[in-house]
Amino acid sequence: MPHQRGRDWLTPSELAAEAKCNYFTVWRAIRRGDLKASQLQGGRLLRIERKDADAWLRPVQPQASP
């Protein structure tokens, strides 16, 4: 699937492809609460808002030691 950076919502599969990781990595992040997702059609479909996907993809900066 082509990279569609301008989309407002992503499926877990689309985010996995963009992050170059497995679908289950995204799914586990959602289940742990590390990645916010919205449920559609009675909870059967998940969609991830772009801003939440970007925050999840953003590398964590190590904190400096005192």
3-state secondary structure of 9: strand
Q: For 46-58, what is each residue's pLDDT tens digit?
A: 999 999 999 999 9
In the DSSP assignment, the letter for residue 59 is P
pTM listed for this prediction: 0.76
Q: For 2-12, what is each residue's pLDDT tens digit?
A: 445 567 999 99
Average pLDDT over residues 25-38: 96
Helices 12-19/50-57 angle, 10° precision: 30
Averaged pLDDT score across all residues of the chain = 87
3-state secondary structure of 14: helix
